[in-house]
Amino acid sequence: MTEQWTIGSILNWTRQYFGSKGIENPRLDAEVLLSHILGKDRLYLYTNFDQPLAPAELDSYRDAVKRRALRAPVAYITGYREFMGLEFAVNPAVLIPRPDTEILVEAALGKLAATACPVIADLGTGSGAIAVSVLAKLPEATGIAVDVSPSALAVARENAARLGVAERLAFYQGDMLGPLADKKFDAILSNPPYIPDGDIAGLSDEVRQEPRLALAGGADGLIFYRRLVAQGANYLKPGGFMAVEVGINQAAQVADLAGPECKLKAERVIKDYAGIERVVV
C-alpha cells in the first residue's frame, strides 16, 4: 500500500484480499472497518470514493485488515455491535450480541408491557445486551445482571452506563441462578451457552474467537437449561415467566424439561428470522 490510496481504491483492494482469504462478506467488512477508522458512516464512503487516505488512517486500517484476515470478528476490531437499535461495547471477554437474541428481548418486552415496574434478571449477561436493552426500552423496569466472568461484567457495566440504565441495573458475579438468593423476578431471561461441547471445534474461526465460556453447554448443550428449568420457578413472582434462547433443534428438548413435576410449563416457542425455533417461554 502506498500514499496513493483513496477510499474507493482501498475498498476494492480489500474486497479482493478478504475474498481470497475466504472471508464471507468481504466488501461489507471492508466498509465497516474503514468507516470505523475514519469515524464516518458507510454512506460517507460512497460519496467520497476519491478522498485520499492520510498516513495515520492507512496505518490503522492496515492493522484492522490484518486482524480481520486472521479471523477476528469485525465487532471485536471496531469494539462495538448494534443490538436492539443500541450500540453495545464488546471485547473478546463477551459473546458478540446476535440478531437472533433480539427475538428473546422482543418477547420479554411484549410480556412485560402490562407489568408495572417489572423486575428482571439476565443470567449469563455477557455484554449486558439483554438486560440493558430491556431496561432501556422499559423506563420503569429494574433488574440484575449475572455473569460468572468478572471481565464480562465489566463490559456489561460499561454498557449499562453508556446506555443510561446503570442506576436501575445491579451486577452480580456468579453462576446463573447462584447469586439470586431470595430475590423474585417478573422475568428471568437468559441466552446461556448452548453449543454441545463436541460441536465447538466445528464452529467458524470467528465464533471460536468468542469466549468458550459463553458457548459450551456441556455434552448435549443442555446443562444450563436443566438447572434453569428445575430451579427457576423458585425465583419468579406469581405470574412471572422465564424466557431462554436455545440452539438449533433444542426447543422441544428444553420444553420437555418442564415436565409434569416441574412448576414451569412451556408456553410458547418463537422462531428466529431464519425460521429456526430460537426462544422458549
Instruction: Kindly list the residues in this chain that would bind ligand GLN in the complex (CB under 6 A).
Output: 95, 98, 191-195, 207, 215
Task: Using the minimum distance from each CB to ligand GLN, give the nearer residue, 192 or 232.
Answer: 192
Task: Using the minimum distance from each CB to ligand GLN, give the nearer residue, 192 or 240.
Answer: 192
Least distance from ligand GLN to the Cβ atom of residue 192, Å:
6
Task: Using the minimum distance from each CB to ligand GLN, give the nearer residue, 8 or 92.
Answer: 92
Task: Using the minimum distance from each CB to ligand GLN, give the nearer residue, 31 or 277.
Answer: 277
Task: Using the minimum distance from each CB to ligand GLN, give the nearer residue, 37 or 94.
Answer: 94
Least distance from ligand GLN to the Cβ atom of residue 239, Å:
27
Least distance from ligand GLN to the Cβ atom of residue 221, Å:
8
Compute the distance between CA of residue 262 and CA of residue 59 in angstroms, rounded to an integer.
Answer: 58
The per-residue DSSP string of 77-139 comes to HHSEEEETTEEEE--TTSPPP-TTHHHHHHHHHHHHTTSSS-EEEEET-TTTHHHHHHHHH-T
Task: Using the minimum distance from each CB to ligand GLN, give the nearer residue, 73 or 118.
Answer: 73
Least distance from ligand GLN to the Cβ atom of residue 207, Å:
5
Residue 264 corresponds to which cell in the numbers above? 414451569
Residue 75 corresponds to which cell in the numbers above? 465487532
Side chain identity at residue 157, one-letter code: R
Residue 67 corresponds to which cell in the numbers above? 486482524
Least distance from ligand GLN to the Cβ atom of residue 21, Å:
21
Least distance from ligand GLN to the Cβ atom of residue 212, Å:
10
Residue positions counted in the chain: 281
Q: Which residues contact 123 (CB under 8 A, 6 or more apart)?
A: 146, 176, 177, 188, 189, 190, 192, 228
Compute the distance between CA of residue 47 and CA of residue 261 in angstroms, rounded to an integer.
Answer: 63
